[in-house]
Amino acid sequence: MPLDILLVRILLALVQIATLALLGQGVLALLAGKYREQNIFYRVLRIVTSPAVRTVRFITPRLILDAHIPALTFFLLLWLWIVLALTKRHLCGLHALAC
């Protein structure tokens, strides 16, 4: 497998994990309500998503409230997922691979 496709696939896997963990964290927050911090699964998902959330907090201006950062992170990761999937498809086509 060419190196460029491998790197895109690794990035795509990381983005997929972070996106789905953020989605799971949001669903669990809705279900658990104010007791979500006591839920072990919510805390595990928060640990998984914290690098992405901290990165988005770092690159966004302070004008954006901290409460909105997880939602913004989810939408940025979703768009990144789409871009990486299309990039992988394009690279597979350039290398004449069926991946």
Per-residue pLDDT reduced to its tens digit, 29-74: 999 999 999 999 999 999 999 999 999 999 999 999 999 999 999 9
Note the pLDDT of residue 19: 98
Closest CA to 82 of 19, 30, 31: 19
Of residues 29 and 1, the one with the higher pLDDT is 29
In angstroms, rounded to a whole number, what is the distance separating the alpha carbons of residues 79 and 72? Answer: 11
pTM score, whole prediction: 0.89
The single residue listed with the structure tokens 């190196």 is: 3
